[in-house]
Every structure is written in C-alpha cells, then in structure tokens.
Amino acid sequence: MPDTLPASLRLHIDRAALQHNWLHLDRMSGSANAAAAVKADAYGVGVEHAVPALRDAGASEFFVAHWSEVSRVAVHVPPRSIAVLHGPNTREEADFARSLGVVPVINSLHQAQIWSASGGGRCHLMVDSGINRLGLSLGDVGAAIIGELEVDCLMSHLASADEDSAMNELQLDRFASVFGVIGHKRRSFANSAGIALGPAYHFDQTRPGLALYGGVPRAELANDIRQVAYPQAAVIQLRDIEAGDGVGYNATFVADRDMRVAVISIGYADGFLRPRGPGSSVQWKGESLPILGKVSMDMIVVDASASMGLREGDWLDIPFSLPETAAKSGISQYELLTTIGNRFDRSTI
C-alpha cells in the first residue's frame, strides 16, 4: 500500500515564465545584479522548483527571512550565496551562519554585538530609512560596534515603492546619508517595485521578490511580467439541487431554479480565502463555472449546470493572474501567493 495518495490539488509552476521574470528584472536593474527573494517557500511557489530555475537563469544570491529556511535553499545553491534577513538574535544562529558560510543581515546593535562576539566575518547590514521594521536606526550608524563589522552589502528597504510617494525620495536621501559613515563594499535598496522607480534606486544589487512569481506591483511591469503559478482543483462530487435550496454556510446563495452543482476540492485552508468567492468563477475547458455561496475550509461549490460533460475527478483551473485576482478580491498579491497551502502537488511545466 502506498504511503500517500495523489493530491486533489495541483500547482503548476511555469519554469520558463519564472526565468523570464528574473531576466527581465535583472535587465531593468541596469548595472546592478538582481538577487532573488526566496523566503516563505519562494512566495508559496516552492523552493525546490523556484530556486533551481532562478539559479539556472543566472541568479547568484538568494534571500530568506528565517534561519529555518536555509537548509532547503542550500540543497540547490552554495550556502555562501544565501543571506538571512532576520539576522542573528542568538549565538547559536551566529554559529550556524558561520559553520555553513551563510550571510547574516545585521539589523541592530544587539545583532552586531552577537555577530562580533561569535567571531565576526562577512555580513550584510540593513539600515532603516523609514519603514520602521527591522534595520539599524540612523542614530546608531556611528556606533563603534558597527565600525567593527565586515559589511559586504549595505541595505535598506523601501516602504512605498508601489506608489508615487514622496517617501521614496526621502528614503533614498536617508540611505545615501550613511554611505560615508559605514564601511561597505556594495549597496542594495530596490525591491520589485523599486526596480521600476529607475536607476537612482538600483545601486549594486536589487532584491526582487513578488514580480519574480508573477506579481505586478507597479504599472511599469505590467506588460513584461508573466504568470508563474497555475492552480488546479479536482471535482469531488456532482449533485443536483432544487429551486429554493441553499448552498454552503448560512445559505448565502439560494437557487432560483433546479441546478447541477459541483463540489471542488479547494478552500480557505488552501489560500482560496473567502473574499475570492463572491462574483468569481473557475474554469473547465474554457467554460466559466460561477462560485456559489461561501468558501469553506476545504471546498467550494460551483454552478455546473452548463457543463454536461463534467465528471467527478475532473480538474478545474483556478484563475490566478495575481494583479487581476487582487483587484477583484481585495487581497494583496503577496497574500494570494504566500497563503497557498501545502496540500498542493507542485510541479514545473
């Protein structure tokens, strides 16, 4: 007897589209090199599929957030090419970084002290220029412990690059103000949206994330970024309902006629959150099957009245153009990607 059975959810990853997106963003970065943010399981796409594709396209540096993410990425690329954005908060994490050659991103005086006490060495340094998350405060850049660091890449992070905001230029000025204070070899500032802001934001390295995986954070990217993730879900039951029957929790849909409906194996536990239900549909052989009622944890119900050939076990396409789905549902493109559940059988196409 097999240990596992086939999933009733599939996520096809378009390897060529992913590579195209990185190559386009790298070209847009001008003289800067584009790294690749592969945190959160490569934004939900799957590290085992995304990292080799990005590596083969030419990406040579990769960013994760958590130390626990390192091992899965290191299967595919040299540990020296991996940087950990959250930095070392314990001696154990600092020793782990040194033992593998992983690059810690230092975000505070506390982390700088931990890294130096563990023996120091190559690191990146994040300076907060206005987003007020992780990052060294501008008032701390002259601290003696910062001067002891062997900083490879001096970094900061844009808060509003997806908007034409005065904040972008303000952060750029703040970032530039520390160049002469902190010794460093390279500079990195722009995320996906920041790349589209132009050469002044590129420096030596850009750090795209969302746009690699099909997200479009600024209009300048809309014509060139390709969809990467294509989810499918199986039909697990077909049933007939009568006029007056309600569908799903709270009977928010009530049939106005006799209908054929299909129960589909996807729900909010799989990242198909409730705001994606109203007014939406799934696809079968080019036909649209409207979603009926509320999204459940593990399933949705769709109108299959016009799909006479549909059978239990058939696969339906879940529309997943990130900018379109975000605009329709109100869910951010980042959340659409990173909430994809672990019940999908992921594969490259």
Annotated active-site positions, please? 39, 249
Q: What is the DSSP letter of 38?
A: -
Find out whether 11 and 230 touch, Cβ atoms under 8 Å.
Answer: yes
334: left (phi over 0), alpha (psi -120 to 50) or beta: alpha
Provide the CB-side half-sphere exposure for 282 (13 A, CA). Answer: 32
The DSSP result for 163-185, as a single string, is S--HHHHHHHHHHHTTTTTS--S
CB within 8 A of 32, min separation 6: which ones? 190, 202, 203, 204, 205, 206
Cα angle value 339/302/249 (rounded, 5°):
70
CA dist., res. 233 & res. 7, Å (int): 9
| 112: helix, strand or coil | helix
Element (H, E) at 288: strand 287-292
Instruction: State whether the Cα torsion 53-56-59-60 is positive or negative.
Output: positive
Give CA 108 to chain center in angstroms: 25
Residue 234 has what DSSP assignment?
E
